[in-house]
Chains A and B, each alone.
Chain A
Amino acid sequence: MLLFPVWGSILFCLLTGFLPVVGMEPAGGARSGSEPTPDPDPDPLLSPSASNCSQLTLKLEFSTKVVEHEYIVAFTGYFSARARSHYISSAIRNTRDQDLEWHIVPRENPASDFPSDFELVHIRQASPSSLLTLEDHPYIKRVTPQRKVFRTLKYFPCKFALRGTQSWQSSRPFRRTSLSLGSGFWHATGRHSSRRLLRAIPRQVAQILQADVLWQMGHTGSGVKVAVFDTGLSEKHPHFKNVKERTNWTNEKTLDDGLGHGTFVAGVIASMRECQGFAPDSELHIFRVFTNNQVSYTSWFLDAFNYAILKKIDVLNLSIGGPDFMDHPFVDKVWELTANRVIMVSAIGNDGPLYGTLNNPADQMDVIGVGGIDFEDNIARFSSRGMTTWELPGGYGRVKPDIVTYGSGVRGSGMKEGCRSLSGTSVASPVVAGAVTLLASTVLNRELVNPASMKQALIASARRLPGVNMFEQGHGKLDLIRAYQILNSYRPQASLSPSYIDLTECPYMWPYCSQPIYYGGMPTIVNVTILNGMGVTGRIVDKPIWQPYLPQNGDHIDVAVSYSPVLWPWAGYLAVSISVAKKAASWEGIAQGHVMVTVASPAENDSEVGGELTSTVKLPIKVKIVPTPPRSKRVLWDQYHNLRYPPGYFPRDNLRMKNDPLDWNGDHIHTNFRDMYQHLRSMGYFVEVLGAPITCFDASQYGAFTNTRTECGERRRPDITLSMFLVKAQQWWMPDTGGANVPALNDLISVWGMAFGDGLYEGDFTLADHDMYYASGCSIARFPEDGIVIAKNLKDQGLEVLKQETAVVEGVPILGLYQTPSEGGGRIALYGDSNCIDDSHRQKDCFWLLDALLQYTSYSMTPPSLSHSHSRVAPPAGTDRLLPQRLEGNHLYRYSKVLEAHLGDPKPRPLPACPHLSWAKPQPVNETAPSNLWKHQKLLSVDLDKVALPNVRAYRPQVRPLSPGESGAWDIPGGIMPGHYNQEVGQTIPVFAFLGAMVVLSFFVVQLTKAKNKPKRRKPRVKRPTYLQQQQQTTMGKNPTV
């Protein structure tokens, strides 16, 4: 069926570069005349988004201001302070204004003792013409006004300018994108003319991570096969000595890198000089899966991955990602890959600082997902974060990224030669891939190295960053040396990530620590990942055991555990649901206990058939319990009815966000509604999440039921006909429903005589003295007569999208408040747009309105600013217009949890049974746990002290910088396999050339000797003056050979 939504092509867009320049450009980067300036005109579809965002963010990042009366006088050379002062005074004397008041602003710094090429001068009432005449002085190069640079806070959302001209063919549906920062990447060549603050000087990332310690021990990655899936690599790049094979999987007939991305990534892993990589002796396998136009397809990946499996690749770096974890062929293939012992390292994504932006495949349990930090150990702004969203709505996301490492301003190989610096998680990923390669080569028994054991070693050794939660930093920052120690004392075992649950620990355990639990609340779910280093498949023996600590009130909580039936490949989940026992309904305090899990795997090296390896792990749990808050303080968030991408194409609520049109952040209070959650928490509300049908909760317990962007939610947009034409898939892509599903919503609220209309509106307005922006919302078409309805003048966006006309519609009803007439009846508030509480692409927040509506629904207090507003209008009867209907032939039922396919119209599905948690039978123990779980919880049962670093030998194996004058292509081994498609990089070319040169040289030598021995045929030149002749003879004597 052709209408099935397709997002086949993967366009590796210049990711909406969030911050192109946050001081990661090397100081020398500005003079990078030697660096290649690759500027392949990026895909025209993509460039607008990238450039728009980056420009805007640039403004936000820092601003400059001219300092009045101060000027920088630049000289043509370096002069002493006295000479400079002399030149300036003579230059000013030459100007026509004789009454210029000026003095030199002293610069008190250590450099002031040395000659300088500029001076800071304070000149009053300087006219532009007099400044120009200053430049007439022979030693003065130019005069520029002094600027002051302000660096603004790091956490600015990337706000987008309104762009009406861009078509709907935009970048987001092409899912898999390269994860280097688009603009940071291209601007890294020093094309920026504006000033930027260099917060850190890029250094050799391998040395910072102490890779040289392992190099000196003789480990350089030899014997480890690394695959780089990227944009290719040119054949004779001087940085690489062991490129085993290059293959092309794209439709372009080249193996070379036309972008520089693949070269950079390969350089971070295996460069042997200049900007050194981690494992220079590793065997590089270059897979070109991205074209120079930044296009890629899932099918190319499938074939390339198959080849990687056949070639028994050990480590695979994938610096790309995309939002759709529902691409089953791709996800299955990644599982297959790790099941074949390929250690997969992937970038977590560059969509930060928004939560819920993790990219696939880095968000898979079997993949090492890497986030980025800068050299000052701050989480890089661009690094994607937040929990995984696969598990929603019923469960809760897993902790990702796994680890973080340097990803901002890292130096790596330039496209043809030299080094460049680059930022993005696609830089952090090869840092880890290189480290993994180096680590793998240190292990004597390679059988022990597998995707799980490597990940266990990395996360157990990682250094936690202070003040950052686990959904941003994972287990912390990569520590290569500790990972080496752990890996070299490793015994196959299972471990947990996170390794303990301390719901009181802030900020690491945010958001758990932000809200205590109480009796009657929705259970708190912690999704723990089990890593099984014992084998690719495993199982949990019997059932996990819950053991509350009696001295520490462990009996005040109930725990239910669900887990993967089979741990494959190398990992599985362990979901722990915690809720408060009835006896603690009005109790306040801390409760502790632990869950014991035993994991078993078939033993492969056991002589006995059917033998099993087992490993038991303990998961300590610590929670804070408070008495149940009053009903009016409790808000329930409906996650169950949320529809999103993947799997279906559900446009965002704000149709202006054309460069990121899909709604893919999970719509959870801990992802893109995080700000709203924090606002509600700060207002004293307790927010719970309902991951089950509405029938599964007791409404009498809650003050408000918040239901956004749902099938029957509170925010809605008509199903206007938006279509996307996918360039690559050659198919029209029809939205399965609008950002909110109006017809379904109308079904729900029709019982109260309410309905939303089919208009689509947008515009700025003021409500109760607050500036508001209505971002693609819809209007209220029908409302009960005794309700309060607020209307505003808005632009008709439906008309604009369909016909490219602009029309302002007066009095669009957007907000409705209604008290149901029955006694003790509830209250309903309707607002036509939710963009103002969504973190993604929010333009103006409206938390004040949310507060007001919650006040209304909880306490029946109507804010006077709303009830007595000038904008109040009579509720629309809505009988004159047809209400929106579902599009003919839409496929909503495929993704909907409440509709099912049916001949004719989709019919509601029968409601599923409410999820029933089977509480684990407690086995109380008389134990106490330490107050700090983190410090005491061993991540792996490995005795670290045993693995001391061996004596460092003074030997640096073939890792050396290129000395000046040294040829670039001196040690490329291997030969060309004739007739082989896969080009093996060979050294035949230099040999051929050398032989040819020798032949020519000998020919010339023979000729010359012949000419010398032959008698001169010409008659002697009598006319020639003798002194010249003599001179010639002497010259010949001095220079006998050429």
Chain B
Amino acid sequence: MMVLRRLLRKRWVLGVVFGLSLIYFLTSTLKQEERTIRDRTLLEVRDSDHRIPWKVRFNLGNSSRQIIQCRNSIQGKTLLTDELGYVCERKDLLVNGCCNVNVPSTRQYICKSCLANGCCSIYEYCVSCCLQPDKQPLLEHFLNRAAEGFQNLFTAVEDHFELCLAKCRTSSQSVQHENTYRNPQAKYCYGESPPELLPV
């Protein structure tokens, strides 16, 4: 008993005890931290009132056009859509990335090739149609109940144009059996519902 007591009073014993507890503390803190991160990142259900931060610009006609530099849809084979909703041919693109509005073939907010369910056969028209100001409630509604698989994508979207670019792309919603389009004719959708399943 005495030996034990004496031992406890020695500083190196205390030091060892301290060291061990410190190590234990550190490891448990680290582990806990890891666990909370994991819980946080793997949250399955998001809070329902989460909304995508909107920065929608309403472009009412040419008069309000103040943008010097335009983003556009980049990828098109022949057509491009700029962020103001104009669709033009590649050759009619200005150096600043905007469509040349003085060319008669350039049209704004055009829903050509789009069906009533919000699916279009040409990507650029889908983006243009989606940029229509009156599509905002529809898009907001979609965002509020976006499927889990889309959360990565749609929480990273920053404004109306990016949202339309991302929304119109073909996605997991566009396919059936993983290797065929639900509707190969109208596969680009700005609307909420996936393309209508065409009977094979």
B46: chain A residues within 8 A (beta carbon): 981
Contact A992 B91 (CB under 8 A): no
Which B residue sits closest to A1032, measured CB to CB?
B10
A982: chain B residues within 8 A (beta carbon): 41, 152, 156
What size tier do the contact residues of chain B reach?
Answer: 35 or more
Of B57-65, B71-79, B112-120, B135-143, which stretch is located at the interface? B71-79
* A907 at interface, CB cutoff 8 A: no
Contact A303 B41 (CB under 8 A): no
- For B179, give its contact among A6, A306, A339 (CB under 8 Å): A6
- For A609, give its contact among B100, B171, B172 (CB under 8 Å): B100
Complex Cα distance A9/B177, Å? 9
Contact B199 A1 (CB under 8 A): yes
Contact A328 B25 (CB under 8 A): no
Complex Cα distance A327/B44, Å? 30
B92 → A minimal CB distance (Å): 7
Contact A983 B29 (CB under 8 A): no
A43 → B minimal CB distance (Å): 18
Per-residue CB contact flags for chain A residues 550-582 toward chain B (1 = under 8 Å, else 0) read 000000000000000010110000000000000
Contact B41 A310 (CB under 8 A): no
A255: chain B residues within 8 A (beta carbon): 41
Contact B179 A8 (CB under 8 A): yes
A300: chain B residues within 8 A (beta carbon): 149, 172
Complex Cα distance A703/B185, Å? 47
A997: chain B residues within 8 A (beta carbon): 22, 25-26
A253: chain B residues within 8 A (beta carbon): 42, 44
Interface residues of A in 970-1018 (CB under 8 A from B): 976, 978-983, 988-989, 992-993, 996-997, 1000-1001, 1004, 1008
A822 → B minimal CB distance (Å): 46
* A694 at interface, CB cutoff 8 A: no
- For B153, give its contact among A6, A8, A306, A328 (CB under 8 Å): A306
* A678 at interface, CB cutoff 8 A: no
* B162 at interface, CB cutoff 8 A: yes
Given known contacts A328-B181, A979-B40, A537 and B94 CB-to-CB distance under 8 angstroms: no
- For B175, give its contact among A247, A298, A602, A980 (CB under 8 Å): A298
Which A residue sits closest to B21, measured CB to CB?
A1000
Contact A609 B37 (CB under 8 A): no
Contact A341 B74 (CB under 8 A): yes
Complex Cα distance A15/B34, Å? 34
Complex Cα distance A8/B178, Å? 5
A124: chain B residues within 8 A (beta carbon): none
Contact B171 A989 (CB under 8 A): no
**What's the tally of chain A residues with a CB closer than 8 Å to chain B?**
71
Interface residues of A in 284-329 (CB under 8 A from B): 297-300, 302-303, 306-307, 309-311, 324, 326-329
Interface residues of B in 124-173 (CB under 8 A from A): 149-153, 155-157, 162, 165-166, 169-172
* A606 at interface, CB cutoff 8 A: yes
A35 → B minimal CB distance (Å): 23
* B53 at interface, CB cutoff 8 A: no
* B196 at interface, CB cutoff 8 A: no
CB-defined A-B contacts under 8 Å, sample of 11: A7-B179, A253-B44, A306-B166, A307-B156, A537-B76, A537-B78, A728-B178, A981-B46, A1000-B25, A1004-B18, A1008-B14
The 7 A-B residue pairs with the shortest CB-CB distance in the complex, in nearest-first order: A8-B178, A299-B172, A1042-B15, A339-B75, A6-B177, A1-B200, A298-B178
What residues of chain B have their CB less than 8 Å away from a CB belonging to chain A? Answer: 11-12, 14-15, 18, 21-22, 25-26, 29-30, 33-34, 37-38, 40-44, 46, 74-78, 90-95, 100, 149-153, 155-157, 162, 165-166, 169-172, 174-175, 177-181, 184, 199-200
What residues of chain A have their CB less than 8 Å away from a CB belonging to chain B? Answer: 1, 4, 6-10, 235, 247, 249, 253-255, 297-300, 302-303, 306-307, 309-311, 324, 326-330, 332-333, 336, 339-341, 536-537, 566, 568-569, 602, 604-607, 609-610, 728-729, 731, 976, 978-983, 988-989, 992-993, 996-997, 1000-1001, 1004, 1008, 1036, 1039, 1042
